[in-house]
A and B are shown apart, each in its own frame.
Chain A
């Protein structure tokens, strides 16, 4: 999509297909684990495993280099949201120290056709995104924490995903990059 030379366009699919497959996955996990907290945890893990792979795709297709500050990181993750989910989140609510910020999504393709039943009110339905963020940033040597602050499924006006920078993973930085 934002390939530097726009000769090949990444394949696009209807976002409803993503919504439905993801919905099927979560529904199946609820059946298998019947505990909303466990499901949230597993979704995060699943996302992590996706993140450590998808980051290479992002890097190879955008050709972007290493980030030198968190603002840079925020911009690039914003670009990644556009590439993989087709939505452009706003970056907002920076902490004073500049180590924490939020992605605010007006519409979330994962929750488009979803309403949460009453007994699953504590399910973090889009926790997979938090996992992806953590996994992808870990591969580029940034240790971060990510969690959902606001959720459209729980009556908030938009979805807010908070990201907190913990540290740079110095020992995993390869030679020639430090």
Chain B
């Protein structure tokens, strides 16, 4: 029973809230000798594993650190270029830390606004009139549940495929939104929700649902 994250998209399609819940952190550190038996590539200012999956280092993981020094945007924090360091034989044996790529806030905003037209297209593609748009989107590793309110706000939950009771959770999130975001006089509509009370109450509900199921939220 895992809920990965909660997103709220405003009427005009902007991401106004996101919360990463229970995403397990996967990081592996290993010492390598020359030559490196994993094929790395520089993509979008990230160094990712292109080929050669082993010991928990999977294709698609990104390089986080070399010898404990963090790598950001293809560069080590001390200014050296990460790829050059890896090519130099004198630097070996070398310890590399790989991990699952994390989404940045910008990427989340981008994806949220991407979902908006998808939802609209789905409701227009429908062979039957009066289609509600996407309610559940299923993939092999997760299920996205979406609930659109009468006023046009979308609540989304990304959860494990087997997780039950998500429609009740979505309604509950809507109640929390009405209570703790909209009744906060300092929150202006359509703006990102930065209300601590909303955060804490949401976390409480999510924890409850994971621990004891949907019966008592």
Contact = CB atoms under 8 A, between A and B. Distances in A.
Q: Do A and B come from one complex?
A: yes
A60 interface: yes
A176 to B, nearest CB: 3
A63 B171 contact: yes
B5 interface: no
Interface string A158-178: 000000000000001111110
B60 interface: no
Given A52-B189, A55-B151, A60 B123 contact: no
Contacts of A65: 150
A139 interface: yes
Chain A interface bracket (under 10, 10 to 19, 20 to 34, 35 or more) = 20 to 34
A173 B175 CA distance: 21
Contact of A60 (B119, B120, B124, B178): B178
Contact of A57 (B123, B124, B131, B182): B182
A140 interface: yes
Interface residues of B, number: 24
B135 to A, nearest CB: 9
Nearest to B134: A176
Interface of B: 11, 119-120, 122-124, 131-133, 148-153, 171, 174-175, 177-179, 182-183, 189
13 contacts: A53-B183, A57-B182, A57-B183, A59-B150, A60-B149, A60-B178, A140-B150, A172-B11, A173-B152, A175-B120, A175-B123, A176-B131, A176-B133
Given A174-B148, A175-B120, A176-B123, 15 more contacts: A53-B189, A56-B151, A56-B174, A56-B182, A57-B179, A59-B149, A59-B174, A60-B174, A63-B171, A140-B151, A173-B152, A174-B11, A177-B148, A177-B150, A177-B152
